[in-house]
Amino acid sequence: MSNVLSICSGLPELRVARGGTLIEEGVRTDRLFVVRTGAFDVVRHEVRVTRVAEPGAFLGEISAVLGSAPTANVIACEDSVVYVIDAASAAVRSRPDLVFAIAQLLARRLAAVTAYLVDIKRQYADSGTHLALMDEVLGNLVAMHPAGVRQGSERPDVPDY
């Protein structure tokens, strides 16, 4: 991530106090953030998904790449400092170094999720439970070209996520 920090050299910095919201779910700002110091919780529909604390980690990268509203809140869990990239959608189209760093991050996440799904598939393939559907889930993920896919649940009894 030190390469990401060098990309951010000279960018504006923002201090976020512990408990402060850096990114609000559903509110489009067209900003991308890079952790300089501190830590943030990513919270989606009141469920903590992960904690991001590594210097050089991106926050808001999915919104920047997709040009969409954020799908989670990002809340400082300690006093923190981030670099700010304004006009993030334009920045990811015009800065190859930035988009490559984001692509690497997203590829690492996809590899981890795929490995997890394969593990579940192996464990539950012959169980006769809903978890045996991982074969179908994996196939759909591999073949997915979701340019027009709406985020959220397709089930009427489950709120959008």
Q: How many domains does the chain have?
A: 2
pLDDT per residue over 70-97, tens digit each? 999 999 999 999 999 999 999 988 999 9
80/132 same-domain check: no
Q: What is the pTM of this model?
A: 0.77
Span 52-67, mean pLDDT? Answer: 92
19/61 same-domain check: yes
Cβ neighbours of residue 105 under 8 Å, at least 6 residues apart? 57, 58, 61
Last residue of a domain, one of 94, 113, 132: 94
Question: With pLDDT > 70 as the criterion, what percentage of the chain qualifies?
Answer: 81
Distance CA 122, CA 42 (A): 29
Tell me the HSE value of 86 on the side-chain side, using a 13 A CA sphere: 4
Q: Tell me which residue range forms the domain holding 111.
A: 96-143
106/79 same-domain check: no
